[in-house]
Structures are given as structure tokens and as C-alpha cells.
A and B are shown apart, each in its own frame.
Chain A
Amino acid sequence: MDVLELCRIVLLALLLGCAVTVNLAKSLLQAVIIFMAYSSVMCLLWILMESPDLAITEAAVGAGVSGMLFLLTLKKLHQIGGKDGEEL
């Protein structure tokens, strides 16, 4: 089997794994981190599919900005860190 083919299969398996485990994650923080991992895997897959434009965007937006916005939202909803009961 071709090395590229093997890479593709492994990445696709990882993608499926991420997609399933994000539903089973115990905490929202875990879910966000798995979601960012999903985007990173997808970024590699875009490169394998010869679309570097999409890969750059996926890495910047999927794994970077949207993950950060999710984390900030969790912070606002008091799901991670911070003190409880503060209404800001």
C-alpha cells in the first residue's frame, strides 16, 4: 500500500474518532479541545487533497480562532476556572 494512502486512512480514522468522542466528552473543555484536534486533522487532510488554501484557513480559523472563542465563551459561562457566582 502507498504511504500516502496509509496516511489518508489513518487521518480519516482519527477524524471519525474525534467526531465520535466529541459527543462523549465529559466536560465542555474536553469537547472544545477535541474539536480543535478535529480541525488540525482536517487541515492535514486538506493538504493531502491538494488544497493548501483551505488547509491554511482551517488551521487559522478551525484550530485557532474558533477554539479560542469557544474557550472564552466557556469562561463567560463559568464552565472553566474563575470564581463561581460572579455575574459579569
Chain B
Amino acid sequence: MAAIIETRHLTHIYNAGMPDATTALEDVSFAVEEGEFVGIIGSTGSGKSTLVTHLNGILKPTSGQVLLDGKDIWAKNNDIRKCRFMVGLVFQYPEYQLFEETIYKDIAFGPKNMGVDDAEIDRRVRRAAAFTGLPEEYLERSPFELSGGQKRRVAIAGVLAMEPRVLVLDEPAAGLDPEGRDMILSQIKQYHKETGTTVLLVSHSMEDIAKYADKVLVMNQKKIAMYDKVDKVFARADELLALGLSVPQVTKIFLKLRQMGVDVPQDVYTVPYAVKTILQAKAARDQKQEGTEC
């Protein structure tokens, strides 16, 4: 399958040429295929946010390329706005971007800028609102009456309504309570499953990434440290810990178990899978014991 989004030797330097120039990204190359769900993780200041703001052309790379469908988005005669409609980017704390009188109008801002007709806008707004779990009767209310978590859903719906082929979310669950966090993330997963949209999810939480993503991109010190399937990355739990990142609790337990000499697989990162492996190990041991008793 062809990559839908790709970066080649992407480097970004803030305030290039000034005395306070700081490198935020260094030689980052990776590719995401259509329909994948990729988690991006890394400690604060590792370049995650800078990386994702390049993907729809908000930031221009200092050097290197960003390719969308195989085409350089900064090539001459390329309409950068088209890229922005194709790659929907939800920033950190997106609730602060709301401005319209009603939720309906705010969600319609993106599609309106795309120039689609009113019937299509209506369809998109209702669809996006449904996906983010906003009740129909909310649409005519002011977004400023809502709670923080609900505002965030409106903001995410505003990006979903553009129906982008790639959806990029920069810590969509930051600052929410555990319930709100699970809700938003599972809605995104649901959207991914139903529409086949490619999703890139930036998160601090290894648990979330383990639960929702197919692949993980680990950023460290402005560079890519690892980029692989979730199980393969978590199999290197000790390396992740060395990078100062946490790993899911279960993975930690299994790492300890292995260090104690128990024969368990390396790639355990979700609780259901952990339960299964433990039961398997127990069954194997029981069989062994029965064998010796006989």
C-alpha cells in the first residue's frame, strides 16, 4: 500500500538564523499508510507537537519534505489549504478556538471554508456531532455554555466535519478526567473503524496508545527513536524506560516477571492479553505438574 503521509529528512529550527535558534526536529523520516492508527509518544519537548504541525502545512520545514499522497505539500503551485482539508489537525486544548454563536455554526466553519453547499454542510455537521456524542438539541446552543469536556468535543467535531482523510490529534484527552478521556479516545477509535480514516494520535499515556493504536512512533530528543507495531515497541520496554517514558502497568509487571525468570512473552501491553497469557502459562504448568505426578 502507498503511504498517504510521509516525511523525508524533516528538520525544523525555530528562529533560524537568530541567536536564540533552537532545533525542534532533526532528520525525521517516517511514513503512514492509509487506514492506519498511529500513536505518537515522547517526553515533553521531544518534538511531537512540532512534528504534527508540519503535517498539514502550518509550519514550513527548515529542510526536508512532507509528502501527502506522494506529493510535496510545499511544491510550487500547490494549494496549501487543500492539504489542510485533507489532513485535519486538532491542536492541544482545541476548545479555545471556538468562536461562533452556536455549536452548529462553529462545527460548520471548516466545511464552509471548503466551499461545500449548505445541504452537505448540514449532513457533515450532524454526522460529526453524532460521532463525538453531542446530542442533536445542543447544536443551537452557544458553545460557551458547555463544560470543558463538551467544548473539546465540539472542537474535535469541527475538524471531523471537514472529513479529512488523515486525522491528527495532539493530546485530545489532556486535562480531562478518566471517564472523559476514555470516551473521547474510544469515539476516535470508533470513527477510525467506521470510516477507515487514517489517525495519528499524540499522547503522553502509554496505556492509551497501547489500547488504541496499531503502530507507535516514539520521539526522543527531536528524533525518531522507534517506529513499529505496538507489540514490537512494547517488547522493548526496558529501552522505553531508559528514554524516560513509562510503559503500561501490565508491561512493567511482565518485565519484572521475566527478570525473575518466569517464562512469559515480551509483548504484553493490554490487560486482556495479559490475562490470556497468565492463564496459558498456568495451564501449561498444571499440565506439567500432572505429568510429574503420574
Do A and B pair up? The answer is no
